[in-house]
């Protein structure tokens, strides 16, 4: 099912005028989908707007960082995002404004067991990992006992 979803989203992008820079052409009888880079795609494309959980990366051009932030925050999903910049002050300011559960600066996808990880919006509720994640998986019981 996941293979078909990724393949369909890439095909829709292609039909919509996007350019496949690499990948996008699974071969054989396996369910292996190759790493795929998709350029010349709009922010409205399903490949950009949906969480596809596959190796297909849409590359959306922008010329104004404020517009890029509006587009990113307008997405119904909010699992994670990354900001790439040589200016750490700007990157940190943008990270605070980006609506996602986890935001990486100058890397993407690193998950640490000591840091909470989880999404917002349609990307889920709650977190795993870190103290916050442990607390979400606990049932706390209080027993108060008084001498009779």
Rounded Cα distance between 136 and 133, Å, is 5
Average pLDDT over residues 1-8: 95
**Secondary structure percentages of the chain, helix, strand, coil, to 5:** 30, 15, 55
Whole-structure pTM value: 0.82
pLDDT at 20 over 90: yes
pLDDT at 77 over 90: yes
Domain boundaries, the chain: 1-61, 62-137
Q: What is the pLDDT of residue 148?
A: 84
Torsion of CA 124, 125, 129, 135, to 10 degrees: -160
CATH (one of 3.40.309.10, 2.60.40.10, 3.40.50.300, 3.30.70.360) for 62-137: 3.40.309.10
How many helices (H) and strands (E) are present in the chain, helices listed first? 5, 7
Rounded Cα distance between 117 and 43, Å, is 25
Q: What is the pLDDT of residues 88-137, one digit of tens each?
A: 999 999 999 999 999 999 999 999 999 999 998 999 888 899 999 888 88
């Amino acid at each position: 099912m996941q293979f078909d979803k990724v393949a369909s989203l890439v095909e829709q992008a292609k039909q919509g005028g996007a350019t496949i820079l690499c990948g996008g052409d699974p071969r054989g009888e396996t369910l292996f989908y190759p790493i795929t880079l998709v350029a010349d795609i709009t922010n409205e494309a399903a490949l950009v707007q949906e969480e596809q959980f596959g190796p297909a990366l849409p590359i959306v051009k922008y010329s104004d960082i404020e517009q890029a932030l509006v587009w990113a925050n307008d997405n119904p999903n909010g699992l994670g995002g990354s900001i790439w910049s040589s200016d750490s002050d700007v990157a940190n300011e943008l990270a605070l404004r980006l609506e996602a559960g986890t935001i990486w600066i100058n890397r993407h996808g690193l998950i640490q067991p000591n840091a909470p990880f989880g999404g917002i919006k349609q990307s889920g509720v709650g977190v795993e990992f870190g103290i916050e994640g442990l607390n979400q998986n606990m049932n706390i019981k209080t027993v108060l006992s008084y001498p009779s």
